[in-house]
A = this chain, B = another copy of it.
Amino acid sequence: MIKQFIKPARTGAVFLVTCLAASIACASDKTSYPDAAASDPAKLGWMVGAPPPPDRIVRFADGSYFQFPAMRWSVSNFRQLMPTTNVSRGLGAPVPLARALRTDIDALTFVPLGSKEPMTWEQSLAANYTDGIVVLHRGKIVYERYFGVLTPEGQHGAMSMTKSVVGTMGAMLVADGTLDANKKIAEYVPELAKSAFGNATLRQVLDMTTGLKYSEDYADPNAEVWKHAQAGNPLPKPKDYTGPQSYMEYLQTVEPEGEHGEAFAYKTVNTDVLGWVIARVTGRNVAQLLSEKIWQRIGAEQSAYFTVDSIGTPFAGGGLNTGLRDMARFGEMIRNNGQYLGKQIVPKAVVDDIRGGGDKAAFAKAGYDLLKGASYRDMWWVTHNADGAFMARGVYGQRTYIDPKAEMVIVRYASNPVASNSANDPVTIPAFEALAKQLMTHPD
């Protein structure tokens, strides 16, 4: 029921980036959509022409930008739709990623979960509405493809992969003693004292075990996610609107539900709170800090950007947009225990903490059928599989998948019509595991 995913004007960017695997509403979407070829945004010609044909114009204000298939154009063009802030790569020379392209990957076969028919890796790309995918093995690019309107020079919405980037920065501040994971959020941001976050610890926010009255059920017009979206929408509010005017104002209204520390519950607002804590203690917002601490130090070939609300707050829960290869550089740096280009960019202790994972029992309560035995730590998804793989996940199939044992990093940008990782996991999980196995058994 595509109507679940469409809300008229003024709902804003948050929608796109908050819906993720666990959402019941998302997971229940049984609509059949045009396939990747039929919905190819380049073939459909969105925003091409001077002017584009009326039925090929993608607008922010009327909400059409996140309707499928126009959404497939939007995810590579958020800055044309809304205000953004730069994540500068600095002014130095990019450091090219070495290339050792392999020809054995497209033909690789695997069996999707719940299926009996084998599928090839190449088929999996279209099945998952891939916009771009790059695979690093031992730091070299062994595979790279672009589809639709994404190019090497383009930038794609990382959506909820943003959370893992912001979580990493939060964990860095814990590691260097700037933040204490055991402290209550109210100690850092007194404005949140009366909200559900006030008596949650920073650790509970980092691992999303807070007890919050915050529904991401998009089918429910009264779900809190819509209020969050409307608060953060950079467009002027309707005249009769009396609610919160910014992400920060919204966060102060979140009410408690259940106990903190009991169960993993994937809720975007946790990352926005973390972003606020980071800004308060460092004097830099997450975009500025990401530039300074990471993006200027990994040889990035493009500056990245964050979408912002009407008072310039970067959307920490899902507003990051990057080049495909730059996200691969970030992933490779994490795979190398935070070391990259001869520098320790993220402390090894942070990567150890992420890889160690979070509370498996708390995670199990959230009921992710396809992620049994997994956990969530510092806003990363930790599989605890035999390879110790862990990942960042975005709502339309974006993924940064790090397999330490296979010395492999996969970054995929995608625009799957079904706003749920449960839609692509049955293909993605066995595909990525099959590739890891291939690289381990045939390393050259």
Contacts and interface: CB of A to CB of B under 8 A. Distances in A.
B79 A60 contact: no
Interface string A69-109: 00000000001111111101011111000000000000000
A9 to B, nearest CB: 7
Number of copies: 2
Interface stretch (A26-34, A47-55, A136-144, A258-266): A47-55
A310 B61 contact: yes
A62 B234 CA distance: 12
A81 B310 CA distance: 8
Contact of A153 (B91, B155, B235, B279): B91
A84 to B, nearest CB: 6
Contact of A91 (B9, B234, B276, B302): B302
Contacts of A50: 248, 276, 279-280, 285, 313
Nearest to A326: B91
B79 A83 contact: yes
A382 interface: no
A37 interface: no
Contacts of A82: 83
Contacts of A310: 59-61
Nearest to A151: B88
A10 to B, nearest CB: 8
Contacts of A88: 153
A92 to B, nearest CB: 8
A311 interface: yes
B80 A235 contact: no
B83 A81 contact: yes
B9 A311 contact: no
Nearest to A305: B79
Interface residues of A, number: 46
A9 B236 CA distance: 9
Given A61-B235, A91-B302, A236-B235, A313 B83 contact: no
Contacts of A305: 79
Contacts of A47: 311-312
Interface in A146-167: 152-153, 155
Nearest to A314: B80
A35 B102 CA distance: 62
Contacts of A51: 246, 248, 311, 313
A308 interface: yes
11 contacts: A50-B248, A50-B276, A50-B285, A58-B312, A60-B234, A60-B310, A62-B236, A79-B83, A79-B305, A91-B301, A236-B236
Given A60-B83, A62-B236, A80-B83, 5 more contacts: A59-B310, A79-B84, A79-B85, A80-B85, A91-B152
Interface of A: 9, 47, 50-52, 57-62, 79-86, 88, 90-94, 152-153, 155, 234-236, 246, 248, 276, 279-280, 285, 301-303, 305, 308, 310-313
